[in-house]
Amino acid sequence: MQQNFKAQPCDIFVCSAPKSGTTWLKALTFSIITRHDDDITNNLLFTKVPHECIPFLEVDQAFKWFCQGKSMYGSYWDHMLEYWKASIERPERVFFIKYEDLKEDTLGYVKKLADFMDKPFSKEEQERGVPQEIVARCNFKNLSNLEVNKSGKYTTEITKEISNNLFFRKGEIGDWKNYLTEEMAKYIDDITLQKFQSSGLTFP
């Protein structure tokens, strides 16, 4: 599919690192574009989660490779920097969002996303509370309760059977503290400071 794919002017790409709010942002984007009340649980984007395409790794090994920039997606820091620079050079084509910002002001960013995608909310829609409805429909509780995330499973050669709900995180800022040691966190912070220096891109 990748070899034959031809992008169209109207295509929208949600580009993010794994486990960084991708499902949430997809839901918000889809709801902003469609604007109707159809249940998102019936959409293919939310009924099929191909976790079998993602290799299983223990935290220590994943951390090591992440810091070395070894992954099927390339270096996380390079990925962020390239999109950050693109958003500055072509703000009409690239909209850069940080998870923490989206979490703290979801409604504000839903409106900004709508404007960016040339789908601004009309005065009537705002009076009817359409932006608020989209935020509520796509909240963490609703998405985590999708059947594919609650009961879906897949099988690997190493772990045999894994439930999809293990891939759905808490949706909280700072949840990394439950998985990384202070030493790991400091190491990542040091790399981030080194990589992002002079770029203008900062993270909390």
Domains of the chain, earliest start first: 22-196 (3.40.50.300)
Three-class secondary structure of residue 71 per DSSP: coil
Q: What is the pLDDT of residues 115-146, one digit of tens each?
A: 999 999 999 999 999 999 999 999 888 877 76
**pTM attached to this predicted model:** 0.75
Determine what percent of the chain is predicted with pLDDT higher than 70.
Answer: 75
Is the pLDDT score of 156 beyond 50?
no
Q: What is the pLDDT of residues 94-104, one digit of tens each?
A: 999 999 999 99
Helix%, strand%, coil% for the chain, nearest 5: 55, 5, 40
For 103, counting Cβ atoms within 10 Å of its Cβ (0-12 exposed, 13-18 middle, 19+ buried), the class is middle
Specify which of 70-74, 156-160, 164-168 reaches the highest per-range mean pLDDT: 70-74
Q: What is the mean pLDDT of residues 74-92?
A: 94
